[in-house]
Amino acid sequence: MSRFNWQDIGQFVAIFIGGAMGGVGRYELSDYLNEFNQFAGTTAVNLIGCFLMAIMIYGISMRFDLPEWLMLGLGTGVIGGFTTFSALMLAFITNYQQHIIGVFVFLTLNLIGGFLMALFGYLSAKWINRGRGLWS
Domain-by-domain residue ranges, the chain?
7-128
Q: Rounded to two decimals, what is the model's pTM?
A: 0.82
Mean pLDDT of 31-39: 84
Residue 131 three-state SS: coil
CA angle, 58 then 118 then 57, to 5°: 20
pLDDT of 1 higher than 60: no
Is 25 flagged in the annotation as binding?
A: no
User: Which range, 28-37, 58-67, 96-105, 110-119, has the best average confidence (pLDDT)?
Assistant: 110-119
Residue 59 φ/ψ region, left for φ over 0, alpha for ψ in the -120 to 50 degree band, beta for the rest: alpha
Is 18 flagged in the annotation as binding?
A: no
